[in-house]
């Protein structure tokens, strides 16, 4: 019983108005005892009843509320991300009033989202921004719901969402053009020439030995001879990103290098280039597309220098290499 009472009281806190109200009530109670005036006793009883009613109505408003977190799909270090939760009133007949959802954090990121009324069985989606400064696995700040309903004398405060864990990717920034020019304009369209790509380069007459699958039948129907498609060489060349050096010397330099590699990987992959990642304790095979981007960012987010070991760099195929120093 004592534990229940303690928990009940721990969730409640007197507001400034509440303290003033209690002091006035206490003063009137002392005056009533000194004077024996029945009207003063009646007034004190009414004031105490307001405190009781305030606690009952606040408890009814908070009862049955459930807050389900909505985690951001992608979080990058030092970049705002959209987080949120779904607030649901599970009571069948009674509404909840004057509900606030508080998200603790630095003064610039604290949020207090107000829900004036939440009907029975109704849910409301709430969103806010969170910023996590470093890559890796982190817990989001705990979320609380509070109410001052109905008279603002007490703040009823309960933590209804535990601290969920999210994976924070390294910071990804636009790659400067001069950085790309140093590596031959990777990820950009180069001069077109014949090759074995997928794009059309030219049409020419059929020659003995040409692949019949390359015959362009629509053009052939308009000319007295068969026409064959010549294909353009793929302009984008696959890339191997390599982290070099000792990752233990300078933590700030390490984070800058990881961020630089992540930025290069995202740039090349979104330009259609295949990317492979190598380094001390890192090995992500060659791949393309959104799935490969996720694999590389996850490997870089979880990269820990303490576990890094030397890595052999096999070369199963010719790739353009870009090296980023860790020290």
pLDDT of residue 290 exceeding 60 = yes
Residues 132 and 270 in one domain: no
pTM of the shown model: 0.67
- Number of domains forming the structure of the chain: 3
pLDDT tens figures, 188-215: 444 444 545 555 567 778 787 777 777 7
Distance of alpha carbon 91 from alpha carbon 62, whole angstroms: 10
Residue that wins the pLDDT comparison between 214 and 147: 147
Residues 184 and 132 in one domain: no
Distance of alpha carbon 138 from alpha carbon 249, whole angstroms: 24
Residues 28 and 65 in one domain: yes
Residues 127 and 243 in one domain: no
Residues 101 and 24 in one domain: yes
Q: Which domain holds residue 244?
A: 177-188+236-325
Distance of alpha carbon 92 from alpha carbon 218, whole angstroms: 69
Radius of gyration of the chain (CA): 33
pLDDT tens figures, 53-65: 888 888 888 888 9
Residues 41 and 75 in one domain: yes
At 46, is the pLDDT very low, low, confident or very high (cuts 50, 70, 90)? very high
Q: Cis peptide before 5, with omega less than 30 degrees from 0?
A: no
Question: How far, in Å, are 153, 188, 195, 201, 270 from residue 191 at the CA level?
Answer: 74, 10, 12, 11, 20
Distance of alpha carbon 116 from alpha carbon 98, whole angstroms: 4
HSE, side-chain direction, 13 A CA sphere, residue 49: 6
Length of the chain: 327
Distance of alpha carbon 154 from alpha carbon 152, whole angstroms: 6
What's the pLDDT score for residue 217?
75
Report angle CA 67, 68, 72 to the nearest 5 degrees.
Answer: 130
At 106, is the pLDDT very low, low, confident or very high (cuts 50, 70, 90)? low
Average model confidence (pLDDT) across the chain: 79
Residues 152 and 57 in one domain: yes
């Amino acid at each position: 019983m004592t534990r229940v009472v303690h928990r009940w009281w721990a969730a409640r806190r007197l507001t400034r108005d509440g303290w003033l109200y209690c002091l006035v009530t206490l003063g009137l109670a002392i005056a009533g005892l000194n004077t024996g005036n029945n009207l003063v006793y009646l007034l004190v009883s009414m004031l105490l009843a307001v405190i009781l009613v305030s606690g009952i109505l606040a408890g009814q408003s908070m009862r049955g509320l459930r807050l389900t977190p909505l985690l951001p799909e992608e979080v990058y270090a030092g970049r705002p991300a959209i987080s949120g939760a779904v607030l649901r009133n599970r009571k069948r007949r009674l509404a909840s009033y004057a509900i606030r959802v508080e998200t603790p954090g630095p003064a610039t990121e604290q949020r207090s989202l107000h829900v004036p009324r939440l009907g029975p069985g109704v849910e409301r989606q709430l969103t806010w921004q969170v910023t996590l400064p470093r890559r890796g696995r982190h817990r989001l700040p705990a979320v609380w719901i509070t109410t001052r309903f109905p008279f603002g004398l007490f703040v009823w405060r309960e933590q209804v969402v535990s601290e969920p864990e999210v994976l924070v990717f390294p910071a990804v920034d636009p790659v400067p053009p001069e950085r790309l020019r140093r590596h031959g304009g990777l990820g950009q369209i180069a001069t077109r020439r014949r090759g074995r790509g997928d794009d059309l380069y030219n049409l020419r007459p059929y020659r003995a030995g040409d692949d019949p699958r390359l015959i362009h039948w629509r053009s052939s129907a308009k000319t007295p001879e068969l026409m064959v498609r010549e294909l353009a060489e793929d302009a984008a060349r696959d890339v191997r990103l390599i982290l070099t050096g000792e990752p233990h010397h300078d933590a700030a330099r390490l984070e800058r290098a990881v961020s630089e590699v992540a930025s290069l990987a995202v740039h090349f992959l979104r330009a259609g280039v295949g990317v492979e990642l190598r380094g001390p304790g890192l090995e992500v095979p060659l791949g393309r597309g959104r799935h490969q981007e996720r694999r590389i960012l996850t490997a870089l987010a979880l990269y820990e220098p303490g576990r890094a070991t030397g890595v052999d760099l096999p070369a199963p195929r010719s790739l353009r290499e870009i090296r980023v120093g860790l020290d």
